[in-house]
A = this chain, B = another copy of it.
Amino acid sequence: MRRGAAESGREPDRLGDQRPASRAGGARVASQRRAGSAVTARLGVDIGGTSTRAVVVDESGVIGEAEATSGRGVVAALDVVLATAQAALESAGRPTTSSIGAGVPGVVDARAGIVRHAVNLEIDEWHLREQLEDRLGLPAAVDNDVNAAALGARRALQIEESLAYLNLGTGVAAGIVGVSGVLRGARGGAGEVGHLSVDPRGPRCGCGRRGCIEAYAGGRFVDGRALFRMPAASPERQRFGWAVASAVISLLLMVDVEHVVVGGGMARSRAALLETISNGVVALEADSTFIAGLDAHRRLQVIDPGIDVAAIGAALLSRESAR
């Protein structure tokens, strides 16, 4: 039930505000290259249901990027990945590149490098790692896009402790990164906080269960734009805030990550989202000194929606997932 951090969490046009946009290799390219960079770089690709974004990162940060409309089916999707990767490399001035990583919405077997059931891409099974290595001649790694985003958020926010990246997109799921890397779980399913049920009489979720957090807070059930135009005290925002706060508290209770970073489509209204979740946390804390003792306010933040967490994290995958 993992769904894209990417397709729902980004306003591509906003990037144009600050960065020059051009076209190359069929992909929209925005370059931040600094002249004379000779450091080894990494490629990261975020393959969303709508768009495919590639970044080139080195120790200084993002040094090149490109974006194109995602292809449908294995052949077209791979073509777009390769073209976007090449365009991003071009925009970075063709640095020496040591690896490529890809984040994909869907069920990803990170150990085997295989994507399964990427519904939005109309893909049933995709041996993506093998194909990337064959076509690019680079060590490759693949993971769920939410796990990738968790790594990207950790890097972008310069967090050294453990964190959960709580993605509020079409669906609701978390990527969990401990001090020893991504917590993927025995079957690649860790972080499915969106399908914790918080009310047996609650609304029916897409998964069939009643009262899933996703059924209160997922983009297929709640229109974020409409929601954040309502007053903070409206019942709709309170209900949404209660559900997301329940997800935050559940992550602290169950995996005790030091930080919970919220992102995804709902994070476009960053300040309003933080206010709404914080109000939800306050309500949960009011009942319980134990919950209040979790210190959730200080451990919670909403990430700047302009940061390409999934693509940046994908670029870090090769190293992280080797552990």
A interface with B by C-beta (< 8 Å): 1, 161-162, 178, 180, 183-193, 195-200, 205, 207-210, 246, 250-258, 284, 287-291, 294
- Give 4 A-B pairs besides A189-B252, A207-B291, A208-B288 with Cβ atoms closer than 8 angstroms: A191-B254, A195-B253, A196-B253, A254-B254
Decide yes or no: A255 and B254 within 8 Å by CB, A198-B198, A288-B208 being known contacts: yes
Residues of B within 8 A of A178 (CB): 183
Residues of B within 8 A of A192 (CB): 253-254, 256
The answer to whether A287 touches B196 (Cβ under 8 A) is no
Among B1, B185, B284, the residue within 8 A (CB) of A257 is B185
A43 to B1, CA, bound (A): 45
Residues of B within 8 A of A210 (CB): 287
The answer to whether B193 touches A254 (Cβ under 8 A) is yes
Among B185, B197, B252, the residue within 8 A (CB) of A256 is B185
The answer to whether B284 touches A187 (Cβ under 8 A) is no
Closest to A188 in B: B256
Closest to A204 in B: B287
The answer to whether A246 touches B197 (Cβ under 8 A) is yes
The answer to whether A186 touches B291 (Cβ under 8 A) is no
The answer to whether A184 touches B250 (Cβ under 8 A) is no
Closest to A252 in B: B189
Decide yes or no: A284 and B209 within 8 Å by CB, A196-B254, A254-B193, A290-B1 being known contacts: yes
Residues of B within 8 A of A186 (CB): 161-162, 256-258
Closest to A290 in B: B207
The answer to whether B189 touches A256 (Cβ under 8 A) is yes
The answer to whether B184 touches A256 (Cβ under 8 A) is yes
A155 to B176, CA, bound (A): 26
A to B CB contacts below 8 Å, 11 in the list: A162-B185, A162-B186, A183-B183, A186-B256, A193-B253, A195-B291, A196-B253, A207-B291, A208-B289, A209-B284, A210-B287
